[in-house]
Structure 1
């Protein structure tokens, strides 16, 4: 299955169902939520630091990233977002963006007006809880990234990130067995785990040589899930998915 084979509304429901049990009328309310779909090339900002958006962004196809820049222009990716994610839910309550969100691959995104989100949440109060829970999960992932990038070696950091992406993509039906698509450059992966692009290349070579991953174009294949988990010191608890124990 591909994300493009599902409507944005259906994909959003599928993602949220991985952390929450909906009543039928709540599902229907989300299915009826107006979503304006557009396509973006890779490397396009969706929102920037200082913006005051009136809408949230649902990732329908492709990958996006949340990033911060130093005053010298050095970039740190602080999150990767996959189809089904709503990376900027915080904008419902924080008027001014303190992060930038960009497409990291060619993307299809759906924009949901804040007024429509508030309306559906007022009518179905449990949906407020599910969106709040989704925001808390994003915060949990952010904390794990802080630990990963601050305390693990680059080899383990990358193994951990591969584990995370496989689990998150499988949660929305986009990982097939031990294989998932990763439309991200080595430079962007280096920005995500806080290393240089040269060292990133060495890390990927080492992971291949040790039999932890195989790559085929933009596909990543995990031959031995348990070995990859061990190398990345990976525990999926922080993802708070209903079933996140095995790939």
Structure 2
């Protein structure tokens, strides 16, 4: 991994994401952009941003590309426990822990910011709106994690996959990564299987069922949802868990 220099567009991604949670002050935006641009790094597909057990002394924010959190059992079985999309933080207060209890890896090429603990705490102390935005993001991540537990524990296969597609679409929207009813889906069927707790064979059958029902179109690593309301209905999906924060 190496420093990239100044890429202003990447800083805007996290500004847009946090601004959807709290109305940031002008001063907060300027301070955040500066902190992000001073710590730009890159990871290639499959590369770890940080591995389970590594010590923690900084906050990582994904600015472009996709990453995911995962844990792997001793026999090699892997569970993806969440995806991390552009503008999202890999836990704003994770440096309070002694070591990470899971691994964060890049799905695609990823540009991310790494901000050391002292500058990050100074950043939060400098502006209330920024501190509240990062706290809202932490609470939102908790809500997403609870929904993933329900997905794995109670929804049937078709509902699980449909729900994941709905969530991906809705989480990409605030940073302008949805084009009409389409968005990128740069993951493999193995990734989707590991995220939904299904075998690859079962996952493939489920995707074919969603396709045959006209609920999704998958082509060239792009997900198109012809009727989002219909897919939400099939998934028993409610977006309320993504809207738990109060702006202002």
Given the two structures, how large is their TM-score scaled by the length of structure 1? 0.91
Where in structure 1 do 4 or more consecutive aligned residues deviate above 6 Å? none
Residue 171 of structure 2: aligned partner: 168
- Correspondence 1:8 to 2:14: no
Q: Deviations over 1:47-76 (max 9, x none)?
A: 112111222211122110001122322110
Asked whether the equivalents of residues 11 and 63 of structure 2 are also in contact (C-alpha less than 8 Å), the reply is: no
Asked whether the equivalents of residues 18 and 242 of structure 1 are also in contact (C-alpha less than 8 Å), the reply is: no
Asked whether the equivalents of residues 190 and 196 of structure 1 are also in contact (C-alpha less than 8 Å), the reply is: yes
Distance 1:8 1:54 in 2: 22
Q: For residues 34 and 156 of structure 1, do their structure 2 counterparts lie closer, same or farther at Cα, with a shift above 3 Å needed?
A: closer
Distance 1:20 1:153 in 2: 35
1:149 to 152, 171, 175: 152
Q: Deviations over 1:200-239 (max 9, x none)?
A: 1111111100000011201111111111000111111111
Give SS of 2:15's match: helix
Distance 1:107 1:120 in 2: 24
1:31 to 5, 30, 33: 33
> 1:139-218, aligned counterparts within 5 Å?
139-218=142-221
Given the two structures, how large is their TM-score scaled by the length of structure 2? 0.91
Give SS of 2:41's match: strand
> 1:216-231, aligned counterparts within 5 Å?
216-231=219-234
Q: Provide structure 1 residue ranges, at least 5 long, that are not aligned to the other structure.
A: none
Q: Deviations over 1:70-107 (max 9, x none)?
A: 23221101001111111232323223111211111222
State how many pairs are aligned: 239
What is the root-mean-square deviation of aligned Cα atoms in Å?
Answer: 1.8
